[in-house]
Amino acid sequence: MADFDPTSFIRFARRIATAALIIFGTLWLGCSVTTRIDAGHVGVKVKLVGSQRGVQDEPLTPGWHFFNPVTEQIILFPTNVQNVVWTHSPNEGRPIDESLNFSSSEGANISADFGLSFHVDQPMAPKLYNKFRQNDMIALANSYIRNTVREALNEVASKMKVEEIYGVGKTAMLKEVADRCRERLGTFGVSIDQLTINGALRLPPLIADAINRALEASQNAAQSRNRVAQVEAEARQAITQATGAAEAARLRAQGEGDAVIIRARAEAQANESIRLSMTPAMMQYRAIERWDGRMPMFQGGDKMPLLTFDAAKLDTLDEPTRQKRLKELFDSARPAPIPSAIPTIAPTSAPHFPVPVPSAVPAPR
């Protein structure tokens, strides 16, 4: 204790306190003049003094940044997608009725629940803050952005009939509203990602009943038209089948008639050919050839039967005339033209028709 020097201890304590003060001061100053911008955010620098005071045009990207806390201020802006819903249900969004109301061209009041997705364009964040002095995007969505959507909705719906809005025109209406909102909010850096109608449109009961009855009548009319079209198609099919059957029967009858005519003509030509081919000598030869050598059991007169012929009683022709008649008959024996309704293949050469020879010689006249 004799060696204890109070003066030295005081000087040592002062040095420790000074070092600690410097360290804490440095830490405090470092925390005061630096800020960290996280991913999904952007910084907006605001100068409070000087000739360039106000919102600076260049945003601060994510990372660490130095600034003068006495003369400058940094505002953080979220740039990720923000979602907000405006519904009449207290279980979604805020516990109040936030659904949007609009009117059709007839003045019918319509209510609907909407959902909106949007984000802030990073380069436009300073302009957005300079316009609204607001970096709470949900609060901005429930105020200015909501009013913009409602205004565009009334502008578009006021040109459409309630039946069109309630039916096929709803999608077109929603697209045009979203396009108008993109055009108006895009100048401030707000990009609309998606605008949707959540659930069905709510109409006054009288109008809803009238639309439902009209839709039901339209569906019934469509079903009636479909039934009429089906009956007409079945009738046309039956007519076509009947016409085809009648045409087939007509062609079949015509073919059968033509076949009878062809057979009759062929038989007549064959008979004529046989008649022209027979000479008295040929007929005498055929008679002898066919005779079996037996004499008839009863016979009148002194002549043998079928062995002699009276050539004067035969219809004989001179040889040139007979040959000419045979040639004409053979030339005319070609088949008659086949009707065009029956497809055929043309023969490569004229067919040959042999003249049949009868097994029995007709009796002389």
Give me the domains of the chain, ranges plus CATH numbers.
8-78 (no CATH), 82-203 (3.30.479.30), 236-292+303-365 (no CATH)
Over residues 38-58, the mean pLDDT reads 82
Q: CA dist 122 to 43, 71, 130, Å?
A: 9, 24, 14
User: pTM of the predicted model, to two decimals?
Assistant: 0.53
- What is the spatial distance between Cα 273 and Cα 331, in angstroms, rounded to a whole number? 12
- What is the spatial distance between Cα 226 and Cα 179, in angstroms, rounded to a whole number? 39
Q: Which residue type is seen at 12?
A: F
pLDDT band at 10 (very low <50, low <70, confident <90, very high): confident
**CA geometry: angle 118, 119, 124, nearest 5 deg:** 135
H-helix segments, 170-204: 170-185
Report percent pLDDT > 90 for the chain.
Answer: 18
- What is the spatial distance between Cα 128 and Cα 51, in angstroms, rounded to a whole number? 22
Q: Identify the pLDDT of residue 25.
A: 61
Q: Which two structure tokens, joined as six digits, stand for 222?
A: 């469509």
Q: Identify the pLDDT of residue 257.
A: 83
pLDDT band at 295 (very low <50, low <70, confident <90, very high): low
Q: Among residues 153, 158, 154, 162, which one has the least CA distance to residue 208?
A: 162
Q: CA dist 148 to 27, 51, 72, 95, Å?
A: 46, 35, 33, 22
pLDDT of residue 98 exceeding 80, the answer is yes
Cβ–Cβ under 8 Å, residues 132 and 115: no
Q: Among 38-47, 109-118, 185-194, 286-295, where is mean pLDDT lowest?
A: 286-295
Q: Which two structure tokens, joined as six digits, stand for 180?
A: 């108008």
> How do residues 61-78 score in pLDDT, each as one tens digit?
888 877 777 778 888 888
pLDDT band at 32 (very low <50, low <70, confident <90, very high): low
DSSP letters of 30-93?
HHHHEEEE-TTEEEEEEE-SSTT-EE-SSPBPSEEEE--TTTEEEEEEE-S-EEEEE-S-TTSS
> How do residues 162-195 score in pLDDT, each as one tens digit?
888 888 888 999 999 999 999 999 998 899 999 9
